[in-house]
Structures are given as C-alpha cells and as structure tokens.
Structure 1
Amino acid sequence: MMRTISVVTPVHPPHTRFLPEAYESLCAQELPEGWSWEWVIQHDGDAESEPSFGDPRVTFSASPAAGAAGARNMALARSRGEFVRNLDADDLLVDGALRRDVEVLVRHAHVGWVTSAALDLLPDGEVVSWASGDPGEGVVEPGWMLDVFISGEWRLPVVPGTMCVRRDLLLALGGWMALPRSEDTGLLMALQTVSAGYFIATPSMLYRKHGVQVTAGNLHNDPVDKKLRYGMIVDRAQALRHMYTQPAR
C-alpha cells in the first residue's frame, strides 16, 4: 500500500493565477519508492471556478472566508497523508523537496517536523539566496527556536512556509494557529516546543516576491498588530514549555 505525503495550499484571489506553476513544481517531485503525494487546495471564500489539472492527486474545495489559518485547517481536514507539507499558492517546490522531507521523517523517529532552506524568486525571474542565520543541517532540539525568536526581536531563523509535519502531531496541536496572520509562525513555535525538529540545509522552496504578497502588506507589518500576534505566539509556546517541563506530581 502506498504511503502519502499531503501538500496543503490555501488560496484566494489574486494568488489563484500562480497555481499552475505550483502544480508543475509538484509534478517534478520524485519520492522514495512506495510513496506518493496529494495536493489539497482550499479556496478561502467562494470560488468562481475550480482549477482543473486533470490529476486525481489534486483535490479542490472552497469554504466561507476565514483567513489563511482557517483555509489551511480545512485542507488538513480533507487530507489523508501521514506527513503534511505546507505550500503557499504563490510559492514553488524545488526538485527533491518532498523526497528529502520524507527521508528525514522516516529515518528519525523522534523528529516531529522538518523545515528547510529557501530561495527568493524575484519578479524578473532571478533566484537569489539570503542569509537567514539558519541552524545548519541536522536535528533542532526543542526550545532552541523560541529562544532565538524572542532574543532576535521576532526574527525567525527558518522559513515556516517550508514546514513538513507528522500528521498526528499537527492534529494534537490543533493545526495552524487561529490568527489572522502569522499562523504558520504560531504553529512552528508550538511544534518546536513539544518536539525535536530537523533543518535541511538544501533549499526546498522558491519564495516568490511580488506586489500583492501578504507579508509585504501594511497590516501584516503594522507594529501594533504584530505585537499582538507575536505576543500571543510567544505566550502560547511558553505555556506549552511550562506544561511539558514541569515534573510529574
């Protein structure tokens, strides 16, 4: 019986135009023997039309607008893979990305999640690397990333959009954090609190830079809004840390 890695993608206009390129990057993936992928697309809000790829591995559904976190979690509810990989609609997978995720999670039973390096895809098509202060190839011990996040004034050493997570762990944490923005950061901070992770130094994703990018918007970078979002993310992670490090009574 084939084992499955689910790739979940929330989408809303105007990012739907990027889906064909994302699909091409998925079709270029080669997986270990006995593995297959599925692509679960969730439209955030009523969709005027359903994208058709003529591929049974691709499913599409629409749900009332609830933001990216809600769309990701609705996609998770429809998925069936034992590993769940994040892919935003406007980003692309690099060749070998899913294979490396699967190999790490199969090889390291104690590792609950994986992130990897990423490259920027500029509007003119140029691909550039950037210094993220990443942890280097290998196991990431629980708690390290939260400490870096706090001491670095909310700067992440990895790209949360590259996350691949064991399904059971993702469900146990309630999926993506119910925030209007930064929901993937919220999930990552919870994951790194309760489980060891693994960083893959080989890039797995092209992070597209464009004019309607959510993370470039004014609201996403509003200092008051950011303080509330990141404050909740840190408080949740610290609460989990307290619960997991307290001696049994």
Structure 2
Amino acid sequence: MPKVSIITPVLNAERFLLAAIASVLAQTETDWELLLIDDGSTDASPAIAAAAATGDARIRTVSRPANARHGAAAARNAGLAQARGEFVAFLDADDLYEPQKLATELALLDAHPEAAMVYGPTLWWRDGERPWRWVEPMQRQANRLHRPPALVSKVILSLDWHVPCTCAVLIRRSAIAETGGFEEQFTLYEDQTLWTKLFLRYPVFIHDRCLSRYRQHEHSVSAEASKSGQYQRHAEHRSRAAFLDWVAQYLGGKTALRRALRLARAPYAPPGLQRSADLAYLRAKRATRRVERSIRRWRQ
C-alpha cells in the first residue's frame, strides 16, 4: 500500500495538468499514488492522464459515470473512495507541489502523532503579462499544534488566519473516514467543509514552510465565481453566507463557538441592535489589525 494518496480532480485542464503531474513525480518522497479523477473533460486532459498512468504504475485514472454528480467536491470524494494510502493530499490540476512537500509533512505528522492534519503557507502566483507572487503569512501561528476547536474560530469563522489552500494540506485518511469527506452541494467553500470537520475534532499542526503553489488564472473556479458575483475574497458575498449557514447547522449548539459564529454571520444578518453592535465590533477589529500590520512593516 502507498504511504500517501494524492487526489487530483481534472476538468479541461490540458494547459496545466502535465506540470501538476511532474511536480508529483519530482517528490523526494516516492511512496505515493496519484489518482487523477476526470470530472467530464472535453479537452485532451483524459489522454494526458492516461499517458501518465501508462508511464508510471503509481498513477491511476479514475473514471466516473456520466450521470455522477460533478464538481471538485464530488471528484475528490470519488478519489477518497479509491485511496489506499495512510495519508491523503490534494492537488488541483492547475497547482503545483514543491519537491519536499510530502517528505516534510510526513515527518511532521510522524513527530506529532496526535495531529490529524498538517498544513503551511502556499505561494499564490500568476504568470503572463502581469506576473504576481505572494506567500501567505503564517509565521504567528506556525510551528505549533492547535487543539480543537481553535482553528474553527481563527481560520473558518473570524478569518483572522489564512485558510489553507487545498494543495497545502496532508491529512490522515482515518480522520477523513471518521468525519466524512467534502460536502458535495458546494462548488465554492467545499474545501472548508472538510477543514471545519477536522478542525472541530482533531489537533492540527501548522508549519512555516512554503511547499505548494496555487496558480491564479482567469478560468479558475474562483476567478469565474468572482466574475459572476458569487465570490469576492475581500468582501461579503452570497457563497460565504451559504457556507456559514452550513457551519451553523453542522456546529449545532456548541457554545464555545457561538459568539464567533454570530460575528461571522453578522454581515448577512437581518437589521437590528445585535447586528449593529457586531458590525461595529468587526470594524474596530479590522482597524486595529491594519494598525498592527503597519507597525510590523515599520519595524521591519
């Protein structure tokens, strides 16, 4: 059995798929399997995947019935059903791993056996006429274990800390089996449904090494959602409101997270005194955060 199962949903990714596969082949840790889950591609992606599988026995293609539910969540869940590794990683077809990704994170999970999940910062990048590079700052929360439900509050609800990219995580497969996989009704925030389940139940280790690359391009799911108004990374939007409704239902009556959840939902709440007070608190918190960032930059 392979040590790590890497799950890659594929949908019309012929421009990027070879590079993603190459980044897996370049791993210093060689005990892995790569599951390429086709989600109904109409370009050359299936042929690229089939050729890769022919060239390396560790690579498998997974076909899904024509009437199967589509979307990244459903494709990843199909991969989870086929996965054989003790650990699971995810790599979208337009993203990349750094060569030390698997080896580094396997060592961290070995050093912290109580952790069900490990992740670190990701490089966001765009090529072309307007190249751009940015690495998520995670130094303040890195190199320590976070016990539940701290990350539900800090990462999922308050967004005080960056949400891990899908390509940035390594998870014990047994933990996913316990909590269930991705919620397939979501086309956005589907990754955070799984993170929420794991953060609520298990300790998670965050490290400070950038081991993955999250490609920005005009045809990505988030870019298309931004064009349609469903998603705005730095503003309120209806996809987050729907996700927070799911979080509220999933959390049930957990009192430890009640206030954090109420504040997260405040921008979408009906008018009233509580909403006004919560929004005032959030504005003050954002202002304080801007001052703190300015002070840190000045000290640097």
Instruction: Report the TM-score, using the length of structure 1 for normalisation.
Output: 0.85
1:190–1:240 contact (8 Å) kept in structure 2? no
- Comparing both structures, which one devotes a greater share of its residues to strand? 1
Q: Say whether 1:221 aligns with 2:231.
A: yes
Q: Which amino acid aligns with 2:199?
A: Q
Separation in structure 2 between the aligned mates of residue 90 and residue 78 of structure 1, nearest angstrom: 22
1:111-157 deviation per Cα after TM superposition (whole angstroms, max 9, x unaligned): 101111111121236543243676222212211111124653x5652
RMSD (CA atoms): 2.4
Uncovered stretches (5+) of structure 2, i.e. residues with no partner: 256-300
Q: Which amino acid aligns with 1:200?
A: H
Q: Residue 96 of structure 1 is aligned with which of 87, 91, 100? A: 100
Q: Which amino acid aligns with 2:22?
A: E
1:193–1:241 contact (8 Å) kept in structure 2? no
Residue 46 of structure 1 and its aligned partner are, at CA, apart by: 5.8
Q: Say whether 1:43 aligns with 2:26.
A: no
Residue 172 of structure 1 is matched in structure 2 by: 178
Of residues 222-231 and 192-201 in structure 1, the stretch that sits farther from structure 2 once superposed is 222-231
The within-5 A match list for 1:198-209 is 198-209=205-216
The within-5 A match list for 1:122-201 is 122-124=126-128, 127-131=133-137, 135-149=141-155, 152=158, 154=159, 157-161=162-166, 162-178=168-184, 179-201=186-208
Q: Say whether 1:81 aligns with 2:85.
A: yes
Residue 245 of structure 1 is matched in structure 2 by: none
Kindly indicate whether structure 1 or structure 2 has the higher relative contact order, using CA contacts under 8 Å at least 6 residues apart. 1
Q: Say whether 1:108 aligns with 2:115.
A: no
Residue 56 of structure 2 is matched in structure 1 by: 55
Residue 11 of structure 1 and its aligned partner are, at CA, apart by: 1.4
Separation in structure 2 between the aligned mates of residue 44 and residue 62 of structure 1, nearest angstrom: 8
1:57-103 deviation per Cα after TM superposition (whole angstroms, max 9, x unaligned): 11112223421111000011111000000111111001211001111
Larger radius of gyration: 2
Separation in structure 2 between the aligned mates of residue 103 and residue 57 of structure 1, nearest angstrom: 21
Residue 172 of structure 1 and its aligned partner are, at CA, apart by: 1.3
Separation in structure 2 between the aligned mates of residue 155 and residue 234 of structure 1, nearest angstrom: 19
Separation in structure 1 between the aligned mates of residue 169 and residue 113 of structure 2, nearest angstrom: 17
Separation in structure 2 between the aligned mates of residue 151 and residue 74 of structure 1, nearest angstrom: 28
Separation in structure 2 between the aligned mates of residue 40 and residue 240 of structure 1, nearest angstrom: 38
How many percent of aligned residue pairs carry the same amino acid? 25
Of residues 192-201 and 122-131 in structure 1, the stretch that sits farther from structure 2 once superposed is 122-131
1:112–1:166 contact (8 Å) kept in structure 2? yes
2:135–2:210 contact (8 Å) kept in structure 1? no
Q: Which amino acid aligns with 1:139?
A: L
What's the secondary structure of 2:218's corresponding residue? coil
Of residues 154-163 and 115-124 in structure 1, the stretch that sits farther from structure 2 once superposed is 154-163
Residue 226 of structure 1 and its aligned partner are, at CA, apart by: 2.4
> Aligned residue pairs: how many?
236
Residue 16 of structure 1 and its aligned partner are, at CA, apart by: 3.6
Residue 286 of structure 2 is matched in structure 1 by: none
Residues 199, 59 of structure 1: alpha-carbon distance in 2 compared, 3 angstrom cutoff:
same
1:85–1:164 contact (8 Å) kept in structure 2? yes
Residues 76, 240 of structure 1: alpha-carbon distance in 2 compared, 3 angstrom cutoff:
farther
What's the secondary structure of 1:20's corresponding residue? helix
